[in-house]
Amino acid sequence: KPVLGIESSCDETGVAVYDLERGLLAHRLYSQVRLHAEYGGVVPELASRDHVRKLLPLVRETLAAAGLDVAGLGGVAYTAGPGLIGALLVGAAAARALAWSLEVPAIGVHHMEGHLLAPLLEAEAPQAPFVALLVSGGHSMLIAVDAIGSYRLLGDTLDDAAGEAFDKTAKLMGLPYPGGPQLARLAEQGQSGRFRFSRPMTDRPGLDFSFSGLKTQVLLAWQNSDQSDATRADVARGFEEAMVDTLRIKCLRALEATGAKSLVIAGGVGANRRLRAQLAEAASRQGFRVFFPRPEFCTDNGAMIALAGALRLQAGQLESNAIKVFPRWDLESLSPLHAAV
């Protein structure tokens, strides 16, 4: 039976219905970005209150789009962490209450496992073992996926996450919040080669990332420039090339270190067109396979939570009815799934 998925870890309310046999039946997303824009970042208390306002209408809308009544649900999945505690509690409380009243199981999903499994929503899905690059607003991680649920951290960021670096770089050049996607759009118009920034930590072994130095390089270049629109696009291009090159180099290194033949890219930065093109090209040149979610499932969404929850429920993972969330939650602490996927 289909599983309802609820995402509310940050500033998007996402709801979806996923069925392991029939696939994704419906999904809806409400983004709070306009609400937070005037503050230049997410205001946690405003985020929680807006989830309260939007969640139930979105659940009704999604069920209607799937042609389902609540009684047709076989389970409810929700993001239990990591994320903003108040925002997480809204989704967790609603999901647990709904599941309890329907007498179906509820399951708390790890947000980053959701991102990591999002490519399984596509027709061409990866099979473990594979290496996953998770690049989002709060994380930059390389992970060895030995089986679904069995994750080994190969590399992590020492400072800013990749998406955070996109957003902060956009901000320092005067782009409005949230700047990452806008910076990427500008970069496509920019001239390649006018600004060249370093590829941090690629000149020494290891799989960790560091992006705060790159951000400082961009700041200095920008401050010492004429600050015209054309220059902004050229700097954006230089930044994006440095970022994408760095991610590509580390992905290839991780594939080599693990011997894996498949690579998964997920998280908001996975929507980046240059990153997708460069890795697709590297894959065909070097003979590995690369898998991405469609761009709208790279950023936060309910579909990835419904899918991850459906897999965990199928594997028989049981939890108490307590409403528990984990603002910080280690991905490596999850239990492996033994069910065939």
In the complex with ligand ATP, which residue's Cβ is closer, 256 or 281? Answer: 281
Q: Is 267 in the site for ligand ATP (CB under 6 A)?
A: yes
Q: Has 69 been labeled as part of a binding site?
A: no
Q: Are 112 and 298 a contacting pair, CB within 8 Å?
A: no
Find, among 3, 163, 8, the residue nearest to 73 by Cα.
Answer: 3
Among 5, 105, 119, 178, binds ligand ATP (CB under 6 A): 178
Output the CA torsion 296→297→301→306 (10° steps).
140
Residues 276-305 that bind Fe ion (CB under 5 A): 300
Report the SS3 class of residue 96. helix
In the complex with Mg ion, which residue's Cβ is closer, 5 or 238? Answer: 5
Q: Has 136 been labeled as part of a binding site?
A: yes
Interatomic CA distance for residues 307 and 219, integer angstroms? 40
Q: Has 31 been labeled as part of a binding site?
A: no
Q: What distance lies between CA 86 and its chain's CA centroid?
A: 20
Q: Is 11 in the site for Mg ion (CB under 5 A)?
A: yes
Q: Is 299 in the site for ligand ATP (CB under 6 A)?
A: yes
Among 5, 75, 181, 238, binds ligand ATP (CB under 6 A): 181
Residue 234 near which of Fe ion, ligand ATP, Mg ion, none (CB within 5-8 Å, type-dependent): none
- List the beta bridge partners of residue 78: 6, 108
Supply the minimum distance, in Å, between the C-beta of residue 56 and ligand ATP.
Answer: 22
Q: Are 286 and 279 a contacting pair, CB within 8 Å?
A: no
Residue 167 near which of Mg ion, ligand ATP, Fe ion, none (CB within 5-8 Å, type-dependent): ligand ATP
Supply the minimum distance, in Å, between the C-beta of residue 180 and ligand ATP.
Answer: 2
Q: Has 338 been labeled as part of a binding site?
A: no
Among 137, 155, 190, 309, binds ligand ATP (CB under 6 A): 137
Q: Is 164 in the site for Fe ion (CB under 5 A)?
A: no
Q: Has 224 been labeled as part of a binding site?
A: no
Supply the minimum distance, in Å, between the C-beta of residue 294 and ligand ATP.
Answer: 13
In the complex with ligand ATP, which residue's Cβ is closer, 20 or 219? Answer: 219
Span near ligand ATP by CB under 6 A; candidates 89-97, 121-129, 178-186, 211-219: 178-186
Among 236, 300, 308, 312, binds ligand ATP (CB under 6 A): 300
Interatomic CA distance for residues 140 and 244, integer angstroms? 13
Q: Are 148 and 311 a contacting pair, CB within 8 Å?
A: yes
Interatomic CA distance for residues 84 and 295, integer angstroms? 24
Report the SS3 class of residue 220. helix
- Binding residues for Fe ion, how many (CB under 5 A)? 2
Q: Has 180 been labeled as part of a binding site?
A: yes
Q: Has 167 been labeled as part of a binding site?
A: yes
- Binding residues for ligand ATP, how many (CB under 6 A)? 22
Find, among 74, 68, 60, the residue nearest to 15 by Cα.
Answer: 60
Among 81, 108, 119, 138, binds ligand ATP (CB under 6 A): 138
Interatomic CA distance for residues 321 and 52, integer angstroms? 20
Interatomic CA distance for residues 133 and 150, integer angstroms? 15
In the complex with ligand ATP, which residue's Cβ is closer, 167 or 241? Answer: 167
Phi, psi of 157 (to 5 degrees): -90, 145
State how far the alpha carbon of 151 is from the alpha carbons of 145, 147, 160, 303, in Å. Answer: 5, 7, 22, 21
Report the SS3 class of residue 3. strand
Q: Has 267 been labeled as part of a binding site?
A: no
Q: Is 136 in the site for Fe ion (CB under 5 A)?
A: yes
State the binding site for substrate. 134-138, 167, 180, 272
